[in-house]
Amino acid sequence: MTTPSRTFLLRRHLNKLRWLSLGLVFAMLLLLPMLSVYQNYAAAHAYDLLSADEKAFYDLMHGLTAPFTADPAEDLDAIKGTTWAGRFFGYKIGDPLSAVGQLAAGGALYWPLLFAVLIPTLASLLFGRFFCGWICPASFLYELNTGLGVWLDRIGLRPGRRRLDRRLKYLVLAVGLGLSAATGTVLFAAIYPPAVVGRELYYAIALNGFGTGAVFFAATVLFDLLVARRGFCRYLCAGGALYSLLGRYRLLRIQRVPASCNDCTKCNVACEFGLDPMRDGFGQECNNCTACIAACPTDALEFRITWHDQPYQGPGHLGRRYRRQPGGDTPERPADGGEG
């Protein structure tokens, strides 16, 4: 049997591109507060009054931005904020969860905020949980944390591999909406890791140091290490729940091609969200991160434009189970797959 040659653009490199995207977003979250401080110095017109350290910082930032701006105090306002809410060349972009949370807290729609979350919402309808895999600054740290877990495993410290019910995060979302309505506070702002990370980096760099959100984030990292791999994203993240709901009927999906699959389970191991790509178990939780595509040795996973997943298509045609069974047709889907 020959492997059908199904290739698409950058198939092997999508996961690297994703890391590039995550790294760029994270670097932006580090750079923007520094630019804010630089703008503060520039607006004060008091270079001579700065200390030696501040002068070095000023010179560095000036060197970085001088080719692009004539007036740093004004021009550098073009890109501001975090992934939670920000301004990008005059257009305000916000996280859909911020609009949902504010709607729950205040009970009233503020249409400019809805306009700001429009593009992320539409993108989530098309691409599903892509924010979690490709943009979220907390994901960047959580994935590094997963790598740390692998290293710890090698020296004998076993990270937690518990499986909880992934529907828990929808309950977190619902409870958060109820609590926001009851207290009149946008509670998601304090427990949503990308909002916390962006804000705490800003506090640490431009203001008086980390706030308590850093402690909260450290607790989620420990949860991931001690309880479940990527546990917060999978079981507790309210934003992930919202994106999962938005992406339920997403149009861009990863699907398995059984004709070139050999049932090697590498995709299942690579999937940070504990999904089951080898048995076509993607669902609304899949964040299109392409780690399974990068891990697949036979190129049996590909992007397709369709609004629903395939049911289990049977064992891969290159694998042993397929050759052993008489017809090679679709057998029952194994009962142990899926949950968690």
Between CA 284 and CA 64 the distance in angstroms is 41
Between CA 263 and CA 232 the distance in angstroms is 29
- CA angle at residue 239 from 238 to 240, to 5 degrees? 90
Q: What share of the chain is helix, strand, coil (3-state, %, to 5)?
A: 55, 5, 35
10 Å CB burial of residue 108 (0-12, 13-18, 19+) is exposed
Residue type present at position 75: D
- List the x/- string, 49-78, binding to other proteins by CB under 8 A: ------------------------x---x-
Binding to other proteins (CB under 8 A) within 192-211 occurs at: 195, 198-199, 202-203, 206-208, 210-211
- List the x/- string, 265-304, binding to other proteins by CB under 8 A: ----------------------------------------
What 3-state DSSP class applies to 91? strand
> Count residues contacting other proteins (CB under 8 A)?
64
Q: How far is the CB of 106 from other proteins (least distance, A)?
A: 4
4, 163, 212, 325: which one binds other proteins (CB under 8 A):
212
From the centroid of its chain, how far is CA 19?
11
15, 18, 29, 39: which one binds other proteins (CB under 8 A):
39
From the list 32-40, 143-151, 267-275, 282-290, the region that binds other proteins by CB under 8 A is 32-40
Task: Tell me the Ramachandran region of residue 256: left when phi exceeds 0, alpha when psi lies from -120 to 50, beta otherwise.
Answer: beta
Binding stretches for other proteins (CB under 8 A): 32-33, 36-37, 39-40, 43-44, 73, 77, 80-82, 84-87, 92, 94, 98, 101-102, 105-107, 110, 112-113, 116, 164-165, 168, 171-172, 174-176, 179, 183-187, 189-191, 195, 198-199, 202-203, 206-208, 210-213, 215-216, 219-220, 236, 238
